């Protein structure tokens, strides 16, 4: 059965059944940009801005996917170049951006962030509630508003919480309204307190020097300090380093003129005695009986001699004869250093110190008076320091 159409009817039929031409709208004038920042607020801001522009301008999915690289920069542009073949619609593209740069956090992580962020002292209440409600919105299950208020009520700062009543708050609007009013009052109180505090300090106080404690100048400008520092630089320091009494360790004195040791010796000697005071070491067998010393027999490198266990000296120096004997027996110098030497009557700034390792022994039994040293044994190997300037000393 043939159907006859007029020219006008045929044109109307073509316009009704031909496919709609694709529009030319795109993202050329869209100002949203995303560079790959891994932050959920930034990702949501970009997706929301781009989606609103797409809906208002009527951009098709095909043109939106083709123009999406115009909105992506830096790392995000490289990422999209590798995954764009997997996307067919705009919703798939936005979901892929969310999974790549703002993956959904588990609920326990979100609760950790919520409870771990109490309201800072200087953060307004509305800004704090906005940040916390954004975390509540990311939960996989929606939490009732009353539960959210209970949680946030315990996290707001005490200055606000103590002036609010929980039973009078039924929504976030009630909380924000009452909290803002209290914040306004607290802000006015702080502003009124500032002029009073600053007015008490309007009188200029004189500066006090930390060195001489006088008023009117600082320590850096103190003339007394400058004079003393100049005098200290011009006066040479006395050479007292290393000098000390070997009897009582009193600094800057010798044993022969030590007031403490001489006073102790004078107190111990009767006034009627005719004998001379023995200062430290009595060696004359005719005039006076020598003091007892903890001496032991010792053998070093095949040579037998006598050694004192304790002479109250800081260090002991071997004789030059012992040094020569060890050289003759085949011992070699292990280490040679330069060291300052302090004696009872003089100081040697630099003395050559040589160390030789040798074997030593202390056989035999000793009297009961040496009981503190009865169990003492000389080491199998010992280092003997030798001073080559011993003869000069």
pTM as predicted? 0.36
Whether residues 52 and 90 share a domain: the answer is yes
The pLDDT value given to residue 23: 55
The pLDDT value given to residue 115: 92
Radius of gyration of the chain (CA): 49
Whether residues 56 and 82 share a domain: the answer is yes
Residue 67 in domain: yes
> Final residue of a domain: which of 167, 190, 213?
190
> Final residue of a domain: which of 76, 101, 126?
101
Domain total of the chain: 3
Query: Which pair of structure tokens corresponds to residue 190?
Result: 């702080």
Helix (H) / strand (E) element for 128: namely: helix 125-137
Whether residues 94 and 111 share a domain: the answer is no
Residue 45 in domain: yes
Residue 120 in domain: yes
Whether residues 80 and 43 share a domain: the answer is yes
Q: Cα(42)–Cα(98) distance, rounded to whole angstroms?
A: 10
List the chain residues with pLDDT less than 50.
20-22, 197-200, 202-203, 271-286, 367-393
Residue 212 in domain: no
Whether residues 134 and 91 share a domain: the answer is no
Whether residues 173 and 117 share a domain: the answer is yes
- At residue 97, what are phi and psi to the nearest 5 degrees? -65, -40
Which residue reads 């959904």 in tokens? 104
Which residue reads 């924000």 in tokens? 176
Sort 106 into a burial class: Cβ within 10 Å, 0-12 / 13-18 / 19+: exposed
Residue 266 in domain: no
> Final residue of a domain: which of 101, 130, 157?
101
Whether residues 117 and 78 share a domain: the answer is no
Residue 264 in domain: no
Whether residues 141 and 78 share a domain: the answer is no
Whether residues 97 and 156 share a domain: the answer is no
Helix (H, G, I), strand (E, B) or coil at 216: coil
Please state, as a whole number, how many other Cβ atoms lie within 10 Å of the Cβ of residue 270. Answer: 7
Q: Cα(279)–Cα(265) distance, rounded to whole angstroms?
A: 8
Q: Cα(290)–Cα(284) distance, rounded to whole angstroms?
A: 7
The pLDDT value given to residue 2: 66
Q: Cα(371)–Cα(376) distance, rounded to whole angstroms?
A: 10
Q: Cα(288)–Cα(324) distance, rounded to whole angstroms?
A: 34
Residue 64 in domain: yes
**Domain membership of residue 390 as a residue range:** 319-342+349-362+379-393
Residue 217 in domain: no
Which residue reads 């030590």 in tokens? 258
Alpha helices in 18-103 (DSSP H): 40-57, 61-67, 74-83, 90-101
Whether residues 30 and 93 share a domain: the answer is yes
Whether residues 186 and 112 share a domain: the answer is yes
C-alpha separations of 227 from 212, 215, 230, 346 in Å: 12, 18, 5, 35
Query: Which pair of structure tokens corresponds to residue 311?
Result: 């002479």
């Amino acid at each position: 059965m043939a159907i006859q159409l007029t020219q006008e009817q045929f044109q109307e039929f073509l316009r009704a059944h031909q496919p709609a031409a694709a529009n030319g709208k795109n993202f050329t004038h869209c100002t949203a940009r995303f560079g790959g920042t891994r932050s959920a607020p930034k990702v949501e801001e970009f997706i929301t801005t781009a989606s609103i522009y797409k809906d208002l301008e009527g951009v098709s999915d095909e043109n939106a996917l083709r123009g999406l690289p115009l909105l992506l920069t830096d790392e995000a542009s490289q990422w999209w170049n590798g995954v764009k073949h997997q996307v067919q619609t705009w919703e798939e593209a936005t979901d892929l951006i969310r999974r790549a740069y703002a993956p959904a956090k588990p609920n326990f992580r979100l609760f950790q962030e919520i409870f771990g962020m109490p309201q800072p002292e200087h953060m307004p209440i509305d800004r704090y509630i906005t940040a916390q409600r954004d975390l509540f919105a990311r939960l996989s299950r929606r939490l009732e508003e009353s539960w959210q208020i209970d949680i946030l009520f315990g996290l707001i700062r005490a200055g606000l919480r103590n002036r609010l009543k929980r039973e009078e708050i039924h929504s976030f609007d009630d909380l924000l309204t009452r909290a803002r009013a209290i914040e306004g009052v607290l802000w006015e109180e702080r502003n009124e307190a500032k002029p009073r505090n600053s007015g008490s300090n309007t009188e200029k106080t004189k500066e006090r020097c930390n060195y001489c404690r006088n008023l009117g100048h600082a320590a850096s400008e103190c003339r007394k300090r400058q004079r003393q520092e100049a005098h200290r630089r011009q006066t040479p320091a006395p050479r007292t380093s290393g000098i000390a009494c070997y009897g009582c360790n009193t600094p800057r004195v010798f044993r022969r003129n030590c007031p403490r040791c001489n006073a102790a010796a004078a107190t111990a000697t009767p006034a009627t005695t005719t004998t001379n005071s023995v200062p430290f070491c009595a060696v004359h067998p005719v005039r006076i009986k020598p003091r007892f010393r903890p001496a032991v027999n010792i053998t070093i490198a095949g040579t037998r001699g006598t050694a004192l266990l304790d002479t109250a000296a800081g260090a002991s120096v071997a004789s030059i004869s012992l040094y020569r004997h060890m050289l003759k027996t085949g011992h070699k110098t292990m280490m040679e250093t330069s060291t300052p030497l302090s004696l009872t009557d003089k100081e040697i700034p630099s003395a050559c110190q040589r160390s030789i390792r040798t074997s030593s022994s202390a056989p035999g039994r000793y009297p009961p008076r040496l009981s503190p040293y009865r169990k003492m044994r000389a080491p199998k190997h010992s280092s003997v320091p030798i001073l080559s300037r011993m003869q000069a000393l």
